[in-house]
Amino acid sequence: MNENKLSFANENLVVDYISFNISGLRDAEPIANYLFNFGFNSILKSNEKTKGDILISDNRNYYSVTFVKSKYDPVSKSYWDGIVVRFSGTNGHYFYELIQKRLIDWDIFDLSSTRLGRLDINFLRDISDAESREELGLFMGNSCKKVKVNCRKTYAKYFVRKKGLLLEIGSRGSNHRLRVYEKKKSLEFELEIKKVTIQSYQGFLFSYNLEEFEDKLVKHYYKQLKKWLALDSFYIDWLLAGLRKIDSLESDERSLLEKPENRLNHLVSSYLYGNTLNSLVKKEQFFQLLQFFSFLRTLDYSRQFLDDQVYCIVEFALMDFISFTWNNPRSSYQRNKALNFFASLQDIKPLIQKFSDNEFRRSVMFPYLKLNKKNR
């Protein structure tokens, strides 16, 4: 796999539904017989509402595929003559695995009349007992507010079910529909991609260019969730990590288009040559901050709430940070220099500042610093 490409496996994303619309298809048996060789039982439905009849089946098969005949739709008042081939849940996941292994012969589907109808991608995030129902409700409620402000015509609602909270964004007939399910020990983020949107990627699938297919869909998935979900919640820490990957990859792509002489300082040029770092002292503080961020990534942390804002609490020995920066931890000069740096962290300007007639809020990166002497 190309390191500059994102993949479902590396991002822990799963395909759990895939369907194909085959225009003009009358007889589903040839495809059903073909899929039977891979362990699929087949069900044929005359329309959406019928239970369906068994087309071909064997008790030894673990998977199933559904064929749905489609003609005139009185709801949408549209006419489409053909058959929809559906793989749902574990069936969809298994079928996509067959595609990844290049075991599916697309000729059996007649690509001249076949369109990719829908693809569902989901991510499963583990949740702990410390993450309460109230916190999850706040996240879902804020997401609904974001959608109503930025996408007024988009449906957004969350409610309580027996199995837990459920957030729904987007209607059944739209190109995208997101559902966030609360499960016993996890949250499932499932995005349905349909119609012309998913069809714009089908060429990569049918030509077995899966590297490009997955890379583009991973980015599409992350950016669609970014558009709809509240980003100030720890429930989407995995999403923010994915978005950072996209930013990094796209930045690398842009840098390749630059002239060689312009590439040397592309990482920090906007900081080092702007008005914000116009002295050696400020430049040194900036580099120390980068070193500190790198150091933090090596540490464990705990989460605590201050009002509705989550903060990560990190504890470490001063000597460890000094050693991490390749300096001498026994040097009193280096220790005092590090202490002065940590004291300066609270002078960093707020990351977010909101001011209105009804509310004033500031979010800062380092709201609280505490130093304790232990042993020597």
333-352, pLDDT tens digit by residue? Answer: 888 888 888 888 877 777 66
**Tokens representing residue 351 in the block:** 């990351």
Nearest to 70 by CA among 80, 59, 78, 57: 80
Q: Looking at the structure, do residues 53 and 155 belong to the same domain, yes or no? A: no
Q: Which pLDDT score, from 0 to 100, does residue 372 have?
A: 81
Q: Looking at the structure, do residues 151 and 89 belong to the same domain, yes or no? A: no
- Considering 240, 267, 294, which residue would you say is the last residue of a domain? 267
Q: Which pLDDT score, from 0 to 100, does residue 369 have?
A: 79
Q: In this structure, how many other beta carbons lie within 10 angstroms of the beta carbon of residue 179?
A: 16
Q: How far apart are CA 296 and CA 212, in angstroms?
A: 34
Strands 53-56 and 309-313, by their bridges, are unpaired
Q: Which pLDDT score, from 0 to 100, does residue 351 have?
A: 63
Burial class of 313 by CB neighbour count within 10 A (0 to 12, 13 to 18, 19+): exposed
Q: How far apart are CA 128 and CA 185, in angstroms?
A: 7
Q: Give the ranges where 27-132 is alpha helix by DSSP (H).
A: 29-36, 90-100
Confidence of residue 176 (pLDDT cuts 50, 70, 90): very high
If you ran DSSP here, which 8-state letter would residue 274 be given? S
Number of domains in the chain: 3
Q: How far apart are CA 141 and CA 277, in angstroms?
A: 40
Sequence letter at residue 21:
N
Q: Is 114 helix (H, G, I), strand (E, B) or coil?
A: strand
Q: How far apart are CA 263 and CA 229, in angstroms?
A: 35
Q: Say what the alpha-carbon torsion angle 31, 32, 34, 40 is, to the nearest 10 degrees.
A: 140
Q: Looking at the structure, do residues 227 and 349 belong to the same domain, yes or no? A: no
Considering the domain boundaries, does residue 214 fall inside one?
Answer: yes
**Tokens representing residue 238 in the block:** 């995995």
Asked if 197 contacts 186 with a C-beta cutoff of 8 angstroms, the reply is: no
pLDDT above 50: residue 274: no
Greater model confidence, 80 or 177 = 177
Q: Looking at the structure, do residues 263 and 149 belong to the same domain, yes or no? A: yes
Asked which of 20-24, 47-51, 168-172 is least confident by mean pLDDT, the reply is: 47-51
Asked if 165 contacts 133 with a C-beta cutoff of 8 angstroms, the reply is: yes
Asked which of 79-83, 122-126, 301-305 is least confident by mean pLDDT, the reply is: 301-305
- Considering 221, 245, 267, which residue would you say is the last residue of a domain? 267
DSSP assignment of 240-270: HHHHHHHHHHHHHHHHHHS-GGGSTTTTTHH
Considering the domain boundaries, does residue 182 fall inside one?
Answer: yes
Locate tokens 């699929």: which residue? Answer: 40
Q: Looking at the structure, do residues 222 and 287 belong to the same domain, yes or no? A: no
Considering the domain boundaries, does residue 369 fall inside one?
Answer: no
**Tokens representing residue 205 in the block:** 């699938």
Q: CB neighbours of 162 closer than 8 A, spacing ≥ 6?
A: none
- Considering 241, 267, 293, which residue would you say is the last residue of a domain? 267
The reported pTM is 0.68
Beta strands in 291-351 (DSSP E): 302-306, 309-313
Q: Looking at the structure, do residues 357 and 254 belong to the same domain, yes or no? A: no
Burial class of 198 by CB neighbour count within 10 A (0 to 12, 13 to 18, 19+): buried
- Domain span including residue 337: 273-363
